[in-house]
């Protein structure tokens, strides 16, 4: 898992002046769970947060070197934004392990004392026909992709409620939240569940200063899509199904997360924002074949 971003919030001129205080608009520090810690993917995600003066915790379960590289790039982005980034940190933990999640939050809160934004970014998948999909594998996928975000959210919400200021939770979902994905039954179920996790927590805690939203990427050039992202022919085939005609980038996804984490989205909760190049628009209907 990977813990990203949080930082100093910017004043929103559309908010009455008497509401510009920590009780309503905190955004100093955040943690983002992810199952990888891949510098090539995560540095793009982190950059706008770091450049905005925020402090990020980079959590990982895989390569320590990749996490260190992401940390280096996060600090470089902070320096470009005018801050040192020395408080950024990396934390190793497996988001599929409840006890590891608890230790991760203890470490981050022990170092920072406060958390303002949680970004649930964990995601793994595996392929098999649904009638032979191994139940143990199904459980492994859901532990990381759905149960992990729930447990992380529980810990974050308990912290948010323990002090003034509320907080923000952002879930990284997928177009497969609503688009079926044959052969990937566990992943598909996890993303459908993440949609209702987002909506349920948003409704339950809306009156306590806690916002919960999700971003649903489409085909993005990250390592979870290694099967096609570096293969010219395979990538062209994927992009032929996208109405905008191209795959998205981690930086484009980061901009959406940054918006939802900002005061510009202070009246937005319980929503999934699809950043998918039009994949959810039923592209085959661009041509009138049905009537």
User: Among all residues, which ones are annotated catalytic?
Assistant: 187
Tokens of residue 241, six digits: 């199904």
The DSSP line for 123-166 is -------GGG--HHHHHHHHIIIIIHHHHHHHHHHHHHHTSTT-
Nearest-angstrom CA–CA distance, 271 and 202: 9
Listed in sequence order, the residues at least 6 apart from 199 whose beta carbon sits closer than 8 Å to its beta carbon are 212, 270
Contact 111, 86 (CB under 8 A): no
CA atoms within 13 A on the CB side of 117: 33
Which is nearest to 32 in space by CA: 112, 103, 121? Answer: 121
């Amino acid at each position: 898992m990977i813990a990203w971003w949080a930082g100093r919030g910017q004043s929103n001129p559309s908010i009455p002046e008497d509401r510009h205080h920590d009780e309503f608009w905190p955004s100093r520090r955040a943690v983002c769970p992810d199952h990888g810690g891949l510098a090539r993917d995560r540095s793009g995600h982190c950059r706008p947060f770091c450049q905005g003066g925020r402090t990020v915790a980079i959590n990982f379960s895989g390569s320590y070197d990749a996490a260190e590289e992401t940390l280096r790039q996060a600090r470089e982005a902070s320096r470009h934004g005018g801050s040192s980034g020395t408080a950024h940190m990396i934390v190793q933990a497996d988001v599929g392990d409840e006890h590891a999640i608890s230790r991760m939050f203890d470490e981050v809160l022990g170092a920072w004392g406060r958390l303002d934004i949680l970004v649930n970014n964990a995601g793994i998948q595996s392929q098999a026909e649904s009638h032979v999909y191994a139940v143990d594998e199904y459980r492994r996928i859901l532990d990381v992709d759905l149960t992990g975000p729930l447990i992380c959210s529980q810990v974050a919400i308990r912290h948010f409620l323990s002090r003034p200021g509320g907080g923000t939770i952002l879930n990284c979902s997928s177009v497969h939240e609503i688009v079926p994905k044959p052969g990937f039954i566990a992943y598909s179920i996890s993303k459908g569940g993440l949609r209702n996790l987002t909506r349920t927590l948003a409704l339950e805690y809306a009156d306590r200063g806690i916002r919960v939203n999700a971003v649903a990427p489409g085909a993005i050039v990250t390592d979870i899509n290694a099967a096609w992202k570096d293969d010219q022919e395979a990538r062209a085939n994927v992009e032929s199904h996208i109405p905008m005609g191209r795959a998205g980038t981690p930086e484009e996804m980061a901009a959406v997360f940054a918006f939802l984490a900002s005061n510009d989205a202070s009246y937005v909760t319980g929503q999934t924002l699809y950043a998918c190049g039009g994949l959810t628009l039923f592209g085959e209907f661009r041509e009138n074949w049905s009537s």
